[in-house]
Amino acid sequence: MTFGSLQDSLDMTNEMPWEARNVPTTIYEMLHKTAKKFPERPAISYQLLSGPTDKAETLNWREVHEQVCQFANLMRELRVGEKDVVALVLPNATETAIALMGGMVAGIVNPINPLLEPEQIASILRETNAKVVITLKPFPKTDLAQKTAEAVRHAPNVSTVLEIDLNRYLSPPKSWIVPLVRPKNPTGHHADVKSYAKELKRQNKTLDFEDRKVDRVAAYFHTGGTTGMPKVAQHKNSGIIYQGWIGDTLLYTEEDSVMCPLPLFHVFACHVILMATVMSGAHVVFPTPQGYRGDGVFDNFWKLCERWKTTFIITVPTAVSAMMQRPVDADVSTVKNAFSGSAPMPLELFTRFTKATNINILEGYGLTEATVLVSCNPLDGEKRVGSVGVQFPYTEVKIYNNTADGPVECKADEIGEICVSGPGVWAGNTYTEAAKNRELYHNEKFLRTGDLGRIDADGYIWITGRAKDLIIRGGHNIDPAEIEDAMLAHKDVAFAGAIGQPDAHAGEVPCVSVELVDGASVSADELLEHAQRHIHERAAFPKYVEVLDELPKTAVGKIFKPDLRKAAITRIYNAALEKAGVAARVNVVIDDKKRGLVAQLDANGASEEDVGKVLGAFTRPWEWVG
């Protein structure tokens, strides 16, 4: 396996074990070395508002080191030890990055998606036995303080809540107005509430306790999505530092400026970006609390890149699609590379982006359970659009099929389940709940990802589908069982099957097909209203409900979702073609051995270029009939 000319020059063979490489043992050691090497270089920049001239804050590596020490010291004062948990229910901010690192230094940090509902946040707090929670002070246009307070009320182990006030990022007159319109402080829980800024200011700027050089759990990241009660994955120092090493060795130098509008509660932004900049000394920029979701971020994106002299963009296909709907209205000559994850990028979108910007796109693959990155297309070598590249050094990827005699490794280009081993995989202990680790590994070593794929003869990995049934909406995982349970709660519904239907912006969105009980009569609109009343998370609301005479089923009566997916591809693609005035239509959707589901079209006089402009925004491939 070759990772391009860059890797070829690095002697990345297994002759030297990962453990023998001269890398830090702890997160603090990694930060301390970088702060000593590049004390005055910019480290982290943040702006609350998205305008290219709006107020911004930049910390250098010396200042980051000092604040991380202060935060870790504060955690020790609050009796957080190495096995205690600090939960962060936060949007992006400078404090979020500091608390992530400081939480790892003092104990175990647990970032939580602030978009979750209070009962889900509470469930994670209970599962991890969180002792301290960091969140926002009540602030206009967000109910995060209120949601977190409700969650803490149901998490008895939480003893302290530290509040961050975003008002410090504003300038007059806006900063004068906030105290007048700020919501009242939520009450009703048992924990002490303190000011993050005031408590941090009292602490020393050097570490007050020994940073023990042990490979322990340093982070918990929840997975399983925005519906249901998420599972909690455990990340050790070694796995996190491995991610930093990948970034430092293969992606960034201290000269890079990385634009990261992704949320720090997610492993992509935390490990692939923040930890990699800590190891390399690169500069990372976080625009707005909501990142890509923030007001004006897409409209100002290229101007922000010009402002911060961005060299590396971190993105996902849905964000690239939104960028391509706006002109490149700034000098982006400094931007050389864009790293894209979360889902495969459609070829048409890939081509449009590279042609419009002259920016090199790297597509990669990772998952929370493997402490993120597994593979990537080479920075300097051959890129194969639609693939997720080749495995990183010291990471081993295999494709397995289950048989009556146990797992059998697949041959080149044979589809099976993608399984991973490496420094980021803690076999046997991936999740905090032991029951969830059962049957999660092949040969007691390889993590079963639940993704279906193949490895070609040259070592490039291609994802073709999912063995597990998750719906991935813009990078967010949605459990279809949540939707199905809600539909089955309706008295007239006998069976329900939820899948992800293609979506040009989000990759896929939820839809559901139902079969009614004998003699029942209820409309799709009525069922949609029922779903919205009974599903807790807006992201899981189905975009489309259809009533079928009978759902496709297997011989044992299980709903056969591949047929539902084929029908959804046909329906969405034909609707998009009709809307665009293109005469081509989907004739059939086939299950291709190498590419998964592929739509085959009758041209009806339409050109390949016209069809490509319409269907190029979708992730599933298409071809002409015959």
Task: Give me the residue label for tokens 């709006």.
Answer: 54
Q: What is the dihedral of CA 384, 390, 392, 396, to 10 degrees?
A: 160
> Is it the case that residue 10 has pLDDT exceeding 90?
no
Regarding whether 49 and 193 lie in a shared domain, the answer is: yes
48-60 pLDDT, tens per residue? 999 999 999 999 9
pLDDT of amino acid 13: 44
CB 592 within 8 A of CB 598: yes
> Is it the case that residue 192 has pLDDT exceeding 90?
yes
Q: Which two tokens stand for residue 99?
A: 């608390």
Average pLDDT over residues 478-500: 89
142-179 pLDDT, tens per residue? 999 999 999 999 999 999 999 999 999 999 999 999 99
Q: Which two tokens stand for residue 429?
A: 């202990």
Regarding whether 370 and 232 lie in a shared domain, the answer is: yes
CA 304, 310, 314, 317 dihedral sign is positive
Q: How far apart are CA 138 and CA 135, in angstroms?
A: 9
Regarding whether 101 and 33 lie in a shared domain, the answer is: yes
Question: Does residue 603 lie in a domain region?
Answer: yes
Question: Does residue 406 lie in a domain region?
Answer: no
Q: How far apart are CA 123 and CA 551, in angstroms?
A: 34
Regarding whether 116 and 192 lie in a shared domain, the answer is: yes
Domain final residue pick, 524, 553, 582? 553
Q: How many domains does the chain have?
A: 3
CA angle 383, 384, 386 (to 5 degrees): 130
Regarding whether 499 and 371 lie in a shared domain, the answer is: no
Regarding whether 549 and 565 lie in a shared domain, the answer is: no
Which structural domain, as residue segments, surrounds residue 577? Answer: 560-626
Question: Does residue 198 lie in a domain region?
Answer: yes
> Is it the case that residue 382 has pLDDT exceeding 90?
no
Q: Which two tokens stand for residue 248?
A: 């430092």
Domain final residue pick, 394, 412, 446? 394
Give start and end residues of each alpha helix (H) in 160-248: 174-181, 196-201, 237-246
pLDDT of amino acid 55: 96
Regarding whether 54 and 188 lie in a shared domain, the answer is: yes
Regarding whether 255 and 312 lie in a shared domain, the answer is: yes
List the CATH number of the domain containing 510.
3.30.300.30
Amino acid in position 543: K
> Is it the case that residue 213 has pLDDT exceeding 50?
yes
Using the CB atoms, write b or e for 200-234: b if 16+ within 10 Å. Answer: beebeeebeeeeeeeeebbbbbbbbbbbbebbbbb
Provide the mean pLDDT of the chain: 91
Regarding whether 344 and 202 lie in a shared domain, the answer is: yes
Q: How far apart are CA 521 and CA 553, in angstroms?
A: 22
Long-range contacts formed by 206-213: CB under 8 A, 24+ apart? 206/66, 206/69, 207/28, 207/69, 207/72, 207/73, 207/105, 208/69, 208/73, 208/76, 209/72, 209/73, 209/76, 211/26, 211/28, 211/29, 211/105, 212/26, 212/82, 213/25, 213/26, 213/29
Question: Does residue 40 lie in a domain region?
Answer: yes
Q: How far apart are CA 196 and CA 587, in angstroms?
A: 60
Question: Does residue 99 lie in a domain region?
Answer: yes
Is 501 exposed, middle or buried (CB count within 10 Å of its CB: 0-12, 13-18, 19+)? buried
Is 165 exposed, middle or buried (CB count within 10 Å of its CB: 0-12, 13-18, 19+)? middle
120-145 pLDDT, tens per residue? 899 999 999 999 999 999 999 899 99
268-294 pLDDT, tens per residue? 999 999 999 999 999 999 999 999 989
Q: Which two tokens stand for residue 436?
A: 């969830």
Question: Does residue 464 lie in a domain region?
Answer: no
387-400 pLDDT, tens per residue? 999 999 999 999 99
Domain final residue pick, 538, 553, 568? 553
pLDDT of amino acid 557: 62
pLDDT of amino acid 538: 84
List the CATH number of the domain containing 216.
3.40.50.12780
Q: How confident is the model at residue 555 (pLDDT cuts 50, 70, 90)?
A: low
Regarding whether 124 and 269 lie in a shared domain, the answer is: yes
Question: Does residue 414 lie in a domain region?
Answer: no
Percentage of residues in the chain having pLDDT higher than 90: 74
Regarding whether 503 and 384 lie in a shared domain, the answer is: no
pLDDT of amino acid 573: 98
Q: How far apart are CA 38 and CA 524, in angstroms?
A: 61
Task: Give me the residue label for tokens 């080749």.
Answer: 390
Question: Does residue 127 lie in a domain region?
Answer: yes
Regarding whether 380 and 249 lie in a shared domain, the answer is: yes
Q: How far apart are CA 479 and CA 468, in angstroms?
A: 10
CB 101 within 8 A of CB 68: yes
